[in-house]
Every structure is written in C-alpha cells, then in structure tokens.
Amino acid sequence: MSQDNTVKNIIVLPEDRIADFENAVLELGITDTPILCDTNSYRGKNRDGSPGIAFRKNYPSIGFIYDKATDSFLEPKPTGNPSWVFDSDGGFWKPPVSRPRDGKKYYWNESIVNWSLVESNV
C-alpha cells in the first residue's frame, strides 16, 4: 500500500499461512504496510451469505483506498460519475437513483443524472 493508503499490490496467502501473517509477510520481503483482508468481503457483506459485517468491508482491488478511521477497504469513486454517492455501510459508490427493475436494459446517464433505456436496433 502506498503512503496515501492506495492499494497497489495484493498478495494471496494460502489459508494455512493466515495465522502466521506477520512471518509470511517477512518471508515475502514486503516493505509496504501489509493489511490482512478477506476474499469473502464484498460491499459490506459476506459473499457466502453468512451473517455479520464483512471483514474490512471489501476485498480490495488495485486502486482501492484503505481508510484507517473505519478500518475498511473502500472503492475509489468511478470517473465520469460525479453525481454518485458514497455508501459508507458498504464502502462503495452508487448512483443517486436506483436502477429500474423492470427487466429492461439501462445505462447510467450522467447528463440527466438518471437511468436511460438502452435502445434496441431490432
């Protein structure tokens, strides 16, 4: 992780090395600040449906931000979508208007700050 807390590397340890995290990090020669995460964490929930709050909210990707105040990995704000709002419970950005659930295809239209129907060329 960089000094601005941006994730720049992800190293996956075998399950049997998690309990020995500090030694595994030393053996790998990691000089940045390593932070343990969980592949089961996604947007504040556990991917497998197990109860409870996901460990550090998200399994990070390169470019995610580690927030010390909430001890969480947070998605970076998507470029080109300034209207999107941050969901602090899940650690991700979402549009200010929910996508219609009528079975049709939509795309986010930033110019009208709403969803637009994908036109069919049939």
SS (H, E, C) 38-60: CCCEECCEECCCCCCCCCCCCCC
In the chain, the amino acid numbered 58 is N
pLDDT in tens, 43-80: 999 999 898 889 999 999 999 999 999 999 999 998 99
Highest mean pLDDT out of 16-20, 41-45, 98-102: 98-102
CA max distance for the chain: 60
Of the candidates 54, 62, 111, the one whose C-alpha atom is nearest the C-alpha of residue 82 is 111
- Residue 77: partners with Cβ closer than 8 Å, 6 or more residues away: 84, 86, 93
Burial of 106 from C-beta contacts in 10 A (0-12 / 13-18 / 19+): middle
Question: pTM score, two decimals?
Answer: 0.72
Task: Give 34's pLDDT tier (boundaries 50, 70, 90).
Answer: confident
